[in-house]
Structure 1
Amino acid sequence: MELSQQVTTVTAPAQQGLITQFQYNLSVDTLTSIQTFICMLGLITNIINIKTFLAMRAFDDGVTLTFLLLSVSDLFVCFVSTYICVSAFLISQESRWLSKLNSPKSIIHQEQLNGPFFPVEPTYIGIFGHNMFQIFNLITILLTIYLAVARCLCVMYPLKFRNIITVRKTLLVSTIFFLTSLGIRLPLITHSGILLKFDPRINATRYRLWVHPNRETIKDVLWISVDSPVCVGAQVTLSVCIVFMVKVLRAAVKFRLKASVTNNSKLDSNKSNEKLSTKETRIVKQLVLVSTIFIICNTPKILTFLAATIEPGFDLGGRYQNFYQVSVSATVLFDTLNSSVNMFVYYFYNSKFKSIFNNKSETTGSH
C-alpha cells in the first residue's frame, strides 16, 4: 500500500490561529478531565441499565430490547471515550515535551533528545480511538431515531402501529445499524496505521502515524454524505417527534379531564382505546427526555460542522487547527454525556425499571 508523508498535525501545528499552543493544552486538559469523570459515570450507569433491562426480560418486548441495545451501544461509547481521554493526555504531554525541545531559550543536549517520549506516536492512538468512537456513536444515534420515530407512530396511531417495535424487527434493525456503521468507518480505519520509522523531532525510531494519500478524500466524502446529513437529520427528526409526542400528551390530558367531567361511560370506553394509557404516557415522557438530551448534546457537533463549512481553515492543518481540535474534543465530551445520563431518565420515568433497580439495591445492601 502506498504511504503518504508522516502526519504530526497535533503535536506541531504550523499556525495557531485563535488559540495558542498553551491555551490549546490547557483547554484539552480541562475537557479531558471533565470527560474522564463523565466516562466513569457512563460506564457505571450503562452497566446498571444493561443488568436492569435484562432483569426486565428485554428479549420479550421490543421496546425494552431497544433500550437494552441502546445501553450496550452507550456503554461502548463511554469505553472508547475513556480510551480517547488517555490518548488526549498522551498527546498533550508529548506536545509539552516538544515545545520545550523547540524552545530557543533552552540548551538542548544530545542525550535529552532521547527523553521520555512514547514508543507509539500518540496521534495515531487518538485517530484510531475517534474512528471507533464514531462507529458506536452512530449506532446510538440510529437507535435513538428508530426508537423515537417508532414510538411517535405508536402514540399518534395506536390502533395501526401499536406493535411496530417487535423483538425480531428490533434485532434485525440493530444488526443493520451495526454493519452500516462499521462499513462506513472501515475505509478510514484501513487507510491509516502505524509504521516503524525514524522521528527527527525526538531523534529516535518509533511507530509513527501514516495515512494513505486518499484518506483525506474519503474523510471529506464521508463528512458530506454521512456525518453531516445524519447529524442534522437526527436533530430535525427528533425535534419533529418531540413536537408530535408533546401534542399527543396534551390531547390525552385534555381528554381525561373532559371524560372525568362529562362522566359518559360509553363514550369514554370507546375513545379511551385511542388515547394513551398511564404507562404509555410515561414511555412518551421518557422518550421525549432522551431525545431532548440528545438534541442538546448534538448541538455542539452541528456548530462544528457549520464552522468547518464556512471557514476552510477550521480543520486539521488549517489556520485554526488548535481551535478546531478543541471543538472536536468538546463534541466528543457532549456525545459521551449523551450516552451517560439516560439511566436517570429511565429511573424517574419507567416504574418497572425503578422497581427492579430498587429491589436489586436492597438485595445488595442486605448482603
Structure 2
Amino acid sequence: MADSAALNTSSTTLFALPYKQESQLITSVLLPTWPAIILFGLLANMINIAIFIESRIKDSVTILLCSLAVSDLSFLIFIIPFVTSYIALHFAPNWVWPIDRNIMFLSFQWPALTLYDFSCYTSVATGVTRCACVAMPLRFKSVFTKSRTVKLVIALFIVAVLLRMPVLLIYNIVLRPNPSTNSTGPFWVFRNKEIFAQVNDILNRQSMPYINFIIMIACVIILTTKLHEATRVRRSHAAHSHTEKSTHHPNDLKQPDTQRMSTKDIKVVQSVVLVCSIFVVSQLPFSVFSTARLIEPEFDNSGHYKHLFTACSAFSYTCYFLNASVNIFVYYRYNSKYRTTLLSVLKRKAAFDQQSNIK
C-alpha cells in the first residue's frame, strides 16, 4: 500500500500541469486591461470613420483606411461577448452558467476573428498602395482606381470568410440536459475538431500571416530603396546646380533645394514602417504558438501545457485589441489630411457648444 501510495504521488507530481501560477499571474494582469482597450478602440474607430466620411472618400487609400476602421470597429463589437465570458471564467470559475459557456465563447469569437483577418488583409493592401504611390506615382492613379479598390475590399472580405470556413464547420448546436441547472438547453458539439483546427492553424495562423509579413516587409524595402535612389539623384542634381549657381545671379539661389528628401516622402516611409511593425507585433505571437501547437499537440487548451497556452492566448488577444485600436495615433501623426479634418471638426464642435451655452 505504501508503495502504491508513493507511486500515485509520483505519478501526480510527474503529470502535474506546468505553468499554472505563471498563467494565472499573466491573465490576472492582462484581462482587466481588455475592457479599457476595447472601449478606447470603439471610440477611436468611430472617430476614424467619421473623419474619413467628413473628408469625402476620394481616393483608393482613403477607401482602404475607412474599410479598415469599419472592420476594426466590427471586430471589437463582435469580440465583446467572448471577452466578457473569458473574464468571467477567469475571475469566477465556479459561477454556474445558465447556458453552455462555449456558446458565448464561440458564437462570436470566430466571426470576430474573421473580421480581424479582414483587417489584416486590408492593412497589407494599404501598405501596397502606399508603396505604389511612391514607387510608381505616374501609374498609381490609373492602376489603383476607386472602383478597383472597392472590388478589392469586397474580394478581401470574401477571402477572409472562406479561409475561416474550416473552424465554422467544427461546431453544431444540440439540445441536451444541463446538470448545472437541471434543465435542457443548447450545447456546442464538436465534430472532427483536431483535423479542422489543424487546417485553421495552417491557413490562418501560419500561411496567411507569414505571406502578409513578406508582402509588408517587401513594401518597406521597395519604398526605402526608391526613396534612397531619388535622394542620390537629387543630391547629384543639387551639387551640379550649386556649381552653376555660383556663376549666376544671387536671385537664382531662391530656387527650391532639391537636396533634401521631401517631407511627404519621409512621412510615407515612416507610416509604412510603423504600420508594418504594428502588424508584425500583433500577428507574430499567434503565429508562433500555433506553429508550436502543430509541433507539440499537448500545447493546447486541453493538453499538458494548457496553462502556458492560456497565457499565450491572453497575450495574443491583447495584441489584437491594441492593433485594432491604435491606428488613430498613426493617422494623426502621419496623415496631414486626417489631422486637418479632425482639428476642423473639433473646432466646429467647440464653436457650436459655445453658441449653445450662450443661448
TM-score (norm. length: structure 1): 0.79
Contact kept, 8 Å, 1:348 with 1:354, in 2: the verdict is yes
2:99 corresponds to: 120
In 2, the alpha carbon distance for the partners of 1:236 and 1:40 equals 32
More relative contact order in 1 or in 2 (CA 8 Å, sep 6+)?
A: 1
Contact kept, 8 Å, 1:124 with 1:209, in 2: the verdict is yes
Q: Could you say what secondary structure the match of 2:121 adopts?
A: helix
Give the Å deviation of 1:314: 0.4
Please tell me whether Structure 1 or Structure 2 has the larger radius of gyration of its CA atoms: 2
Contact kept, 8 Å, 1:62 with 1:166, in 2: the verdict is yes
2:357 corresponds to: none
Kindly tell me: are residues 51 and 328 of structure 1, through their superposed partners in 2, closer, same or farther at Cα, counting changes over 3 Å?
same
In 2, the alpha carbon distance for the partners of 1:168 and 1:36 equals 37
Give the alignment's Cα RMSD to 1 decimal: 2.8
Give the Å deviation of 1:198: 2.5
In 1, the alpha carbon distance for the partners of 2:48 and 2:173 equals 37
Does the alignment pair 1:177 with 2:162?
no
Give the Å deviation of 1:328: 1.6
Q: How far does the alpha carbon of each residue in 1:188-233 deviate from its partner, in whole angstroms, 9 at most, with x for none?
A: 3354244443234x36335353224224322222222343101111
Q: How far does the alpha carbon of each residue in 1:221-273 deviate from its partner, in whole angstroms, 9 at most, with x for none?
A: 222234310111112221222222223333344444444443289xxxxxx9x
Does the alignment pair 1:223 with 2:201?
yes
Contact kept, 8 Å, 2:37 with 2:325, in 1: the verdict is yes
In 2, the alpha carbon distance for the partners of 1:40 and 1:365 equals 23
* Bigger Cα displacement from structure 2, 179-188 vs 142-151: 179-188
Give the Å deviation of 1:90: 2.6
Q: Could you say what secondary structure the match of 2:31 adopts?
A: helix
Q: How far does the alpha carbon of each residue in 1:260-304 deviate from its partner, in whole angstroms, 9 at most, with x for none?
A: 443289xxxxxx9xx986445433432222122111222212221
Residue 66 of structure 1 aligns with an amino acid whose one-letter code is L
Residue 29 of structure 2 aligns with an amino acid whose one-letter code is T
Contact kept, 8 Å, 2:176 with 2:187, in 1: the verdict is no
Contact kept, 8 Å, 1:39 with 1:336, in 2: the verdict is yes
In 2, the alpha carbon distance for the partners of 1:145 and 1:243 equals 14
- 1:346-357 to 2 correspondence within 5 Å? 346-357=331-342
Q: How far does the alpha carbon of each residue in 1:315-366 deviate from its partner, in whole angstroms, 9 at most, with x for none?
A: 1321111221221222121012111111111111111110110111112222
Kindly tell me: are residues 235 and 209 of structure 1, through their superposed partners in 2, closer, same or farther at Cα, counting changes over 3 Å?
farther
Name stretches of at least 5 consecutive residues in structure 2 with no aligned partner. 1-14, 245-256, 354-359
Q: Could you say what secondary structure the match of 1:67 adopts?
A: helix
Contact kept, 8 Å, 1:194 with 1:209, in 2: the verdict is yes
Q: Could you say what secondary structure the match of 2:183 adopts?
A: strand
Q: Could you say what secondary structure the match of 1:120 adopts?
A: coil
Q: 2:76 aligns with which of 72, 75, 78?
A: 78
In 1, the alpha carbon distance for the partners of 2:281 and 2:230 equals 27
Q: How far does the alpha carbon of each residue in 1:101-158 deviate from its partner, in whole angstroms, 9 at most, with x for none?
A: xxxxxxxxxxxxxxx5221222331123321221111101111111212332332233
1:334 corresponds to: 319
Does the alignment pair 1:263 with 2:263?
no
In 1, the alpha carbon distance for the partners of 2:153 and 2:261 equals 27
In 2, the alpha carbon distance for the partners of 1:144 and 1:246 equals 18
Does the alignment pair 1:234 with 2:232?
no
1:146 corresponds to: 125
Does the alignment pair 1:66 with 2:64?
yes
Contact kept, 8 Å, 1:154 with 1:161, in 2: the verdict is yes
2:185 corresponds to: 207
* Bigger Cα displacement from structure 2, 42-51 vs 296-305: 296-305
Give the Å deviation of 1:51: 0.7
In 2, the alpha carbon distance for the partners of 1:155 and 1:61 equals 15
